[in-house]
Amino acid sequence: MAEFDGIRAVLWDLINPIEAYIILRFVAFHVGYKDRVWGRKIALATYLIVWDIIVVVNGFVLPDIPIDMFINAVLVLIYGHFYLKGTVSKKLFWYMISVLVVVVSDSIAGVFFFLTLRSSYGFDYLMKNFELRMLFALLGVMILFVITELYFRIRRSKDINYTNKDVSPKMVFAAVMIVFTVMVIVYSFMTVEKSIAGLVRMLAYILIYIVLLYLIGNYLHNIKEKTALKQELELIRESEEKRTVHYEEGDAILTKARELRHDEKHHLIYLEMLNEKENYGEMLCYLKQIKG
């Protein structure tokens, strides 16, 4: 995929940091920022510049393999280490979900262009014409921005604190595999002959992966619920065991108190008998014996 020169290259490369910023906002929304505000803006600018350079280099070296997306994951984790909360798995999971949102946004933009252009033009025609390609990229970024903003508003309206929820390694692995498979399918679609049949096939792929994402999410949700239920049962079992131990200890203390009360009663009866007999010597000896 040939890149552009001059002002066209500058305009094209300006899209990359905008998209990266939206992705970073998506991750930060789910994990939260740390209290360290100093240097955050400088770090953000550095992250966007480095990301833009990586995208350009990737376009020249490996134009058909999006290595930059995986390098961007490392950049997000580095930035997140200093300025974002949450575990590494949580940040990586929401980054992969953000990539899926990017794919959905670009797919919507692609469907729009394939429907408005003649079917014989296809993807190659779009890539070779800067004006259409720039408009396609801007439309994809705009759709990405609208989707994320609507998502943020819906989540905030529910007043649920998502920053406290962690993500299991299974969910991270599932997200990575889904992203990787979607990339393979999108790349395969870009290399085949463009036609209405190809467009229908792409829509079928998107539908299949939406269903697949739902099924995997539902499966992982069930696993999470089972794990939570198992932990709750363990807590109940531990609580019952502690209650049983306390009951046994209390019962032992009560039994000991009854024995002491019985012994005290026996001692008093014997001392009263010695007192009635005026056997004071024996009484003193018995008292010393009890005291000893």
**Residue 4's pLDDT is what?**
64
Rg (C-alpha) for the chain, rounded Å, is 36
**What pTM, to 2 d.p., does this model score?**
0.60
pLDDT the model gives residue 158:
67
Q: Are 12 and 4 in contact (CB under 8 A)?
A: yes
Closest by CA to 46, choosing from 21, 71, 73, 27, is 21
Tens of pLDDT along the chain (292 residues) come to 446 667 777 777 788 888 889 999 999 888 888 877 778 888 889 998 998 888 888 877 876 677 888 888 889 889 988 888 888 888 888 888 888 888 888 888 877 777 776 555 566 666 677 777 788 888 888 998 999 888 888 887 765 555 556 666 767 777 777 777 776 666 666 555 555 666 666 667 667 767 776 777 677 667 777 777 888 888 888 888 888 877 777 777 877 777 777 777 776 777 777 777 777 677 777 777 776 6
Among 115, 102, 86, CA closest to 126: 115
> CA-CA distance, 137 to 19, in Å (whole number)?
10
DSSP for the chain, written as a single string? -----HHHHHHHHTHHHHHHHHHHHHHHHHH-B-S--TTHHHHHHHHHHHHHHHHHHHHHH-TTS-HHHHHHHHHHHHHHHHHB-S-HHHHHHHHHHHHHHHHHHHHHHHHHHHHHS-TTTHHHHHHH-HHHHHHHHHHHHHHHHHHHHHHHHHHHHTT--GGG----HHHHHHHHHHHHHHHHHHHHHHHSPPSHHHHHHHHHHHHHHHHHHHHHHHHHHHHHHHHHHHHHHHHHHHHHHHHHHHHHHHHHHHHHHHHHHHHHHHHHHHHHHHHHTT-HHHHHHHHHHHH-
Phi and psi at 160, nearest 5°, equal -115, 135
Closest CA to 84 of 144, 30, 125: 30
Q: Could you count the other beta carbons within 10 Å of the beta carbon of residue 198?
A: 17
Q: How many CB atoms lie within 10 A of CB 260?
A: 10
230-255 confidence digits (pLDDT tens): 888 888 888 888 888 777 777 778 77
99 CB-near residues (< 8 Å, 6+ apart): 23, 69, 179
In this prediction, residue 1 carries a pLDDT of: 41
